Amino acid sequence: MQYLEAKSLGPPYGENENSDFGDFRFFEHFGPPFYSFQAGRNHFIFLDNTGNTPLQWQLDWLRQELATSDAIHRFVFLGLPFRPQRENTSAFSRDNYFNNPEVEAELHQIFSAQHVDVVFSANLSRYDVQQRDGVRYITTGGAGGVIVDDDNSYHHYTQVSVSDDGVSVKPIRPAISHSSLQRTLNSIWSAIFTFFYVSFPRFLVVVSVLVLIGFKLREIIYEERDFYTHFSIDDSRYRDKPKRIAFFSNNFFPFISGVTISIDRLVRGLVARGHQVHLFVPDYPSMKTSTSLCTRVKTLLAFGTNGEFRLTNPFQTSIRKAFKQLDPDLVHVHHPFWLGSVGLWLAKRYKSPVIYTYHTRLEMYSHYVPLPGALFRNVISHLLVRRFCNKCDGIIVPTYSTEEYLRLIGVKSRICVQPSGVEFERFNSPQIQSLDALRQKYAIQPDHLVLISVSRLGREKNVKFLIEAIASLETEMQQKLRLLIVGEGDDRNYLENYISDNNLQDIIKLVGAVPPDEIPAYYQLSDIFVFASKSETQGMVLLEAMSAGLPVVAIRSSGIDDVIIEAETGFKTLDDIEKWNSKLKLLIENPAMRTRFSKQAVAFARLHDCDSVARKVDHFYSEVLAAYHQQDQR
């Protein structure tokens, strides 16, 4: 086809021009995405149907162009074809059609009314001709696309001839004498080459992804792994020998929680075995002064109802000074952030192994974190735990289900399964003198069956479940029930209002915080221990209650499952009030079962006495120390 004007013919504006800054390059070389010109008595019109340019604007412009044109032949070029998909359209081309039926119908009406000869389009790896109301719609084939070896998809170019007899359009096949397989492979290579050639940024992104995948595969394939316990490690040099140990925790006494009690018991057990332990913990209004055994770190920000959650000054000079003076054999951290991170850094700086005790399921505390809850709960908490654990030399977990969780998220460090210790004798020894005073204080009559729960009043502890369950159960039973909930927390006002609104004041008592020395009497006052928290890694209060001879009814969760022996020391149920109440009712109505469960609970709790736990943790310390220094010598 000869042009009578010296006019450069650009391509129609398509998907590649509309992506990866292609529109800027198109405008630089060809101008606007829709334009027209005449060559002799032939009118060429290029439209943009990718959505980049307003379609109504183009429709108005198109009507004016065609209405004022004196050309004999009129040709329109589109990036995306009109015709609907067919059954034999290749899988590579399913989304390559113009998907605006209303505009398509309006354009077709204009083409037909203004006697457009041919509408050319590309974007499909096929040659296709359709005739509608005197207008030919020809899909010429998308350059660089994958060619499927069938009757409509093949290498070709389109020849257009204009003469006095009209317009002739036909595909011309080049003489390619390749086999069907070779043609298909060449087509795939052509598509890949075009993919990178059209967009250099896309090329860089893909290459970067491939490089990262390569590094990851290299790590997976060539990194040596040994998932078995190392029995060849000789820890005799460290076993049962005095050690200097630095503890780092984000909370401690006077704040009372499962973590602080667990730390205190372990410290006393280790000291009793002849070890020197120094604590690095936050200060509190009633405890600000450091001692030879404890460095109190200044609090920068306190939050929570009573300021129990504390962000301390990690740069306090006394931390490093006390650490260097102690010169610890190992560091034991109890949180994977803040002071825990300080302990990890100091240990690496002064070449000491690090032990981390996984006390808390961080994902259950998303409501305390100033981040989107789902993001912290489902992603950040697990990444934080995995990253921190893999920097440590040993991990202590309270249950086998917790060990399984850490392995599932990718923790590779050495793990010791060891529940926190319980002061068995203290909780098991009779508290006769205190019981009468407690019965009088809470108006407990001889015919009352007393339930008790010891828990911080936080949302993650699920205390409202207990209140709703007992309120429902009490209406079904002749046995008079009393529920004592020991503990403080942010939800206290909410729970008090709920109890008051439902007239449950006579049945349910929020006892508040109780000094640790008085807790055994509360257990011994009661008949059954009830628990609804799903955020525990262990549920240390369960062992305390079992030491006092209480059978347990609890919601089954990762930290509870290993502590309660089903139908022997208590019951574990789903998070369902009806199912939970059915087990509690069974236990209430069977005194003989309660007695049997009580004896078995005491026997189980005795196995977790503080002295026994301290001895096992000490042996794990020795194992980690031996492995750490053996690795240093390699």
pLDDT digits (tens, 9 = 90+) for 470-502: 999 999 999 999 999 999 998 999 999 999 999
Tokens representing 216 are: 């990851």
Q: Who has greater pLDDT, 607 or 126? A: 607
Strand, coil or helix: 162: strand
Give domain 22-193's CATH number out of 2.60.40.420, 3.90.320.10, 3.60.21.10, 3.50.30.30. Answer: 3.60.21.10
Q: What is the pLDDT of residue 432?
A: 82
b (16+ CB within 10 A) / e for 308-325 = bbbebbeebeebeebbee
Q: How far apart are CA 445 and CA 329, in angstroms?
A: 55
Residues facing residue 131 across a β-bridge: 136
Q: How confident is the model at residue 7 (pLDDT cuts 50, 70, 90)?
A: very low
SS (H, E, C) 267-321: HHHHHHCCCEEEEEEECECCECCCCCCEEEECEEEEECCCCCEEEECCCCHHHHH
| CATH code for the part of the protein at 424-608 | 3.40.50.2000
Which candidate, 125, 121, 128, 122, places its Cα nearest to that of 191? Answer: 125
Give start-end residues of each CATH 3.40.50.2000 domain in the chain.
244-417, 424-608
Give domain 244-417's CATH number out of 3.30.470.10, 3.40.50.2000, 2.40.30.10, 3.30.470.30. Answer: 3.40.50.2000
pTM over 0.75: no
> For the chain, what is the mean pLDDT?
87
CB-CB contact of 480 with 448 (8 Å) = yes
- Give tens-digit pLDDT for 383-392: 999 999 999 9
b (16+ CB within 10 A) / e for 598-628 = bebbbebbbebbbebbbbbbbbbbbbbbbbb
Give start-end residues of each CATH 3.60.21.10 domain in the chain.
22-193
Residue 400 clears pLDDT 60, i.e. is over it: yes
Tokens representing 4 are: 């009578």
- Give tens-digit pLDDT for 195-226: 666 666 777 877 888 898 988 888 778 766 66
Q: What is the pLDDT of residue 632?
A: 67
CB-CB contact of 619 with 241 (8 Å) = no
Q: Find where tokens 């209303």 sit.
A: 102
Strand pairing category for 276-282 and 244-248:
parallel
Strand, coil or helix: 454: strand
Strand, coil or helix: 612: helix
Angle, helix 463-474 to helix 492-501, in steps of 10 degrees? 20
Q: What percent of the chain shows pLDDT beyond 90? A: 59
